[in-house]
Chains A and B, each alone.
Chain A
Amino acid sequence: MTARDTVAPPARLRLRVLSAADVDRLHAATLDHLAQTGALVESAAALDVLAHAGAGVDRTQRMAKLPAALVERALAQAPRSFVLAGRRPENDMAVDGRRCLLGAGGLAAKVLDETGGDARPGTAADFARPATAADLTVACTVADYLPEVAFVLAPPVRALDVPDGARTLRELELCLGATGKHVQLGTPLSPAEAAAAVAMATVVAGSAAEMRRRPPLSLRGMGPCALDAALVFAAHGLPSGALAATPGPAPEDLTAALVHLNAAVLAAATVVQLAHPGAPFFYAAQPELLGWRALLRGPAASLFALACSQLAERCGLPLSSSVMTTAAPQSGWQASAENAFAASSGTWAPSDMLVGAGLLGGGALYSHQQMVLDSETFSWTAKIAQGIAVDDETIALETIREVGMGGNYLSARHTRAHIKDVWRPRLLDRSPWDAWVRGGKPGACQRASELTHEILTTHQVPPLAPGQTAELARIVAEVGHGKETT
């Protein structure tokens, strides 16, 4: 199977959950909070940047009070649009506020391996096991094939068979080799690892200048060093998203939680823009970054993501949301319902990036079959987001007159011209009951499993050049060695 071009059609429809006045009020409350109470900023380098810019910094408490004018001035520097480049140029995707890009994975520690034997639907009970480097490669290969997947959240699953010290960069190396699509790094990075990751991206891009133009790597910062890592990425023009600090427990109220998150994002955005004006930076509204899963699941997760898209729009930053992380432990009805709402909020906002496709068990498990199912759900909601075109051609008054009462449109010229626009499912079953029973009652899970099997048997990911492979291995080994000696 040859990879098909990635599909991310622009959305015409927008679903809004906050009024303009609500958005202004939340934005103002956030600025007020940053100026009066201040933000916790875990990075010493970031505190330096803020102090230099005139913010009130308390280094012992790691708190910074950010005047509203400083925040607004910094935000004005951030670009609204940028490219997430693929290793292959045909996989370049625009972050432009008009479309939602789907990210596969990630960071799951366990995998449901449905690919070992026959193509059959996997059940969690049979197959959950610690993820390995081989699983990671399989996940990247499936993501590389699926046209709805725009990028890989690296690693989609952890490579737990790789020694702990070298794991993060080794996982990145595997991802860069196993997909031609953009890679967004989601693991916590030390500043040294961040620098190594940038060096690896330079190898893939060919040069530092080309990397700025077409960044093949971005960062969704996690952990206490997230902002440090984001500063390293930003220095080289690689897109990043991070929070100033991991916020404390969430208030049990969506509105207060929004202010809380908004403050952590705006503080980080301010730091990055002060240090590297114009560096691509995105609004990371991700419950698992916050540890707020108790609040942010079910309908609240969708509402939160939709509200964040409006707050991100208000401050001029692209949004990455990850509500596609069903709590269900296996593929099926619950995972489907939860991710249908997640995909809806992602594509109808639209959120620029939506990650978590393929995850189950609240992000603890990854399933290749679920990845294929989530892709179809995404395709469904993205088609809805395209809305209805109303013009003379689509109103088709002449055709309606010609067909008249009781007639049939199937053979009309107008129908032949537009039939290609009708959405076609890969996994849905629309067969008559008896045919379905005779066929062994195949469900979407089984078809997803069969498709995964087919992808893995036939899909070839274009390899890295031999020189690139060697250079990436050298960088990974060097950092690994450095870790061992310190």
Chain B
Amino acid sequence: MTLRIDPIVPRLQWDVLSSAEIERINEATLTIMEGTGIRFPSPRALDVLEKAGCQVDRARQLAKLPRAVVMEAVAQAPREYVLAGRDPACDMLIDGRHCYLSNDGSGVFVFDRVTGEKRPSTKADAAESARFVDALPAVSYYWGPVVTSQDVPPATKALHDAEAVFANTSKHFQTVTTVGEKPARYLVEMAAAIVGGTDELRRRPILSFMQCAVDPLGHDGPNLEANLVAAEHGLASGFMPMPLAAGTGPATLAGNLVVQNAEALSGVVLLQLAYPGAPCFFAGAPSVIDLKTGGYTGGSPEDYLLAAASTQLAHFYGLPMAMGTMATGAKEPDWQAAVDDSLSTFASVMTNADMMNGCGLLNGSKILSYPHMVMETEIYSIVQRMAAGIVVDDETLALDVIARVGANGTYLAEKHTRRHMKEIWQPTLFDRTPYDVWLRGGKKGALARATEIADEILTNYRPEPLADDVLAELRTIVARADAEAAGR
């Protein structure tokens, strides 16, 4: 039986903030939540917050959250839970020890397999991307969709995406495009149809939700309402702030952390007040303004520092973190993509980010490239080995072997060597042949090898299918949503 998912369980730990620094950022965050407040443009959300003792200004749609309310609510959130796959072998235990990689999401283009040109994505691409992710053990769950269905009615796009995804992967699905109460309820209905009802869905939550926050210090109404539906059904959900340092957040990293912390934390507080004990998580995709374009950098040293610090903050509150990882701004799988992906993955894993979103997209999460996704899994495997660290014990010290072999002997014949050789990391894509051999071999690079692997998966891989009656039921639900959206 082949491994379905292959999370990283890091032995190494890297702290970018000291405990005292975390306390200081927490204190500043609570001060802002209590004194300045957070915007919640949802009557339902404001009702929940007011009832819990928050000071609510309906005209400005803001709530000031007293620190006692915040800390009490956060304490209700579970420290540990499972994000289930349709295939139980794909279950993810979210426990602060495992790091799970997903694909990147919400892209809008693909590099066409035949022409190689960039083109808008379709529902068929959403389906194909799910099938692809299903095949890669390094990618533990499906986040997104990777690319959205742009050939379907815009109002129900998220449900079409979900139909394509559910049919093509038995891994866990975390939606990032389902906004508003109605679409969220349809989506829950679809997931329930797959597992056999809403009670079973609570037991085997194959679906979770992530929403963006609105920076600085606010949320979007439909996003809040969708996550409230998730929490109502016992499905995990979280909010992803993306304050851009020097744009929608302070230029200094510590200040930026305060803003994003307040946003992520306020979302969790709302969900806990509405549904105490509902599984929640922090999310983040921090970045800095690009001084040339005013856009986000798509990879910079500050991004990774913020990522690492945010993850420490989430864990300070006892909450899991879903961290923007990889997602390079590079336009091709090139030098820039590799530095970016390597450092970003290293930062996320060394701080034990529970979920990492994710691989497969180029140009700042816009364009899907399957070979690029394969190349990113190679970087993931390097970080996986590094995170395993170095074990120092009698067996690995091998003092008796060192003494026996002496200064100039050989280790090759030793039993100890044979036992440990298999632990040495072996590349799939990296080339280590001598220069002349490489020349004679046709100068094949990592991209060429990754393209071969991607083509093999796309041509031959078949995921565990959904039963025909379930597929039909999903179709019916989506059709019903389409009709309702069209006013029929």
- Partner-B contacts on A (CB < 8 A): 13, 15-19, 22, 25-26, 29, 32-33, 36-37, 39-40, 63, 110, 123-125, 128, 245, 247-256, 258-260, 295, 297-300, 302-303, 307, 327-338, 340-341, 344, 348, 361-362, 364-365, 373, 376-377, 380-381, 383-384, 387-391, 393-397, 399-401, 403-410, 412, 414-415, 417-419, 421-425, 427-433, 436, 441, 443-445
Contact = CB atoms under 8 A, between A and B. Distances in A.
Interface residues of B, number: 121
Given A377-B339, A414-B252, A400 B435 contact: no
Nearest to B427: A298
24 contacts: A33-B402, A128-B435, A249-B412, A251-B401, A251-B402, A253-B420, A258-B390, A300-B385, A329-B439, A336-B334, A336-B339, A337-B339, A337-B379, A380-B301, A384-B305, A388-B257, A395-B252, A396-B252, A400-B36, A400-B259, A406-B214, A409-B247, A419-B246, A430-B290
B335 A445 contact: yes
B60 to A, nearest CB: 8
Contact of A431 (B289, B293, B341, B391): B293
Interface string B39-63: 1000000000000000000000010
Contacts of A125: 439, 443
Contacts of A432: 293
Given A256-B401, A256-B402, A425-B300, A430 B427 contact: no
Interface of B: 12, 14, 16-17, 21, 24-25, 28, 31-32, 35-39, 62, 118, 214, 216-218, 245-255, 257-259, 288-295, 297-302, 304-306, 309, 329-339, 341-343, 346-347, 350, 363, 366, 375, 378-379, 382-383, 385-386, 389-393, 396-399, 401-403, 405-412, 414, 416-417, 420-421, 423-425, 427, 429-435, 438-439, 443, 445-447
A380 B339 contact: yes
A404 B302 contact: no
A123 B439 CA distance: 11
Given A338-B430, A410-B246, A63 B446 contact: no
Contact of B430 (A22, A298, A390): A298
Contact of B392 (A22, A331, A340): A22
Contacts of A376: 339
A423 B300 contact: yes
Contact of B252 (A251, A336, A337, A418): A418
A258 B391 CA distance: 12
Contacts of B402: 33, 37, 251, 256, 259-260
B334 A444 contact: yes
B248 to A, nearest CB: 7
A299 B423 CA distance: 11
A123 B435 CA distance: 12
Contacts of B248: 408-409
Contacts of B336: 336, 427-429, 443-444
A415 B246 contact: yes
Contacts of B383: 299
A394 B424 CA distance: 43
Nearest to B18: A390
Q: Output the residue of A123, A414, A422 with the most chain B CB within 10 A.
A: A422
B315 to A, nearest CB: 16
Given A300-B385, A329-B435, A406-B218, A422 B291 contact: yes
Given A390-B21, A418-B251, A430-B295, A299 B386 contact: yes
Contacts of A361: 434-435
Contacts of A295: 424
A261 to B, nearest CB: 11
**Residue of A36, A255, A330, A436 with highest tally of chain B CB at under 10 A:** A255
Nearest to A125: B443
B217 A404 contact: yes
Contacts of A63: 407
B252 A394 contact: yes
Contacts of B28: 395, 397, 400
Contacts of B341: 337
Contacts of A388: 16-17, 21, 253-254, 257, 305-306, 309
B417 A443 contact: no
Contact of A373 (B335, B346, B391, B405): B335
B203 to A, nearest CB: 39
Contacts of B252: 389, 393-396, 414, 418, 421
A430 B294 CA distance: 10
B390 A18 contact: yes
Contact of B255 (A40, A399, A419): A399
User: Which of B409, B414, B435 has most chain A Cβ within 10 Å?
Assistant: B435
A439 to B, nearest CB: 11
B363 to A, nearest CB: 6
A42 to B, nearest CB: 10
Given A395-B254, A444-B334, A254 B301 contact: no
B251 A421 contact: yes
B258 A419 contact: no
A425 B302 CA distance: 12
Given A245-B407, A387-B305, A424-B291, A395 B25 contact: yes
Nearest to B12: A17
B251 A400 contact: no
Contact of B411 (A249, A259, A395): A249
A430 B292 contact: yes
A226 to B, nearest CB: 15
B138 to A, nearest CB: 15
B254 A333 contact: no
B217 A405 contact: yes
A252 to B, nearest CB: 5
A380 B407 contact: no
A33 B405 CA distance: 12
A212 B383 CA distance: 43
A456 B427 CA distance: 37
B335 A256 contact: no
A37 B390 CA distance: 24
B329 A430 contact: yes
B396 A253 contact: yes
Contacts of B331: 429, 433, 436, 441
Contacts of B24: 390, 395
B13 to A, nearest CB: 8
A249 B409 CA distance: 7
B431 A328 contact: yes
A63 B406 CA distance: 11
A229 B268 CA distance: 64
Contacts of B438: 124, 329
Nearest to A297: B432
Given A298-B430, A410-B289, A381 B301 contact: yes
B338 A336 contact: yes
A448 to B, nearest CB: 8
B344 to A, nearest CB: 10
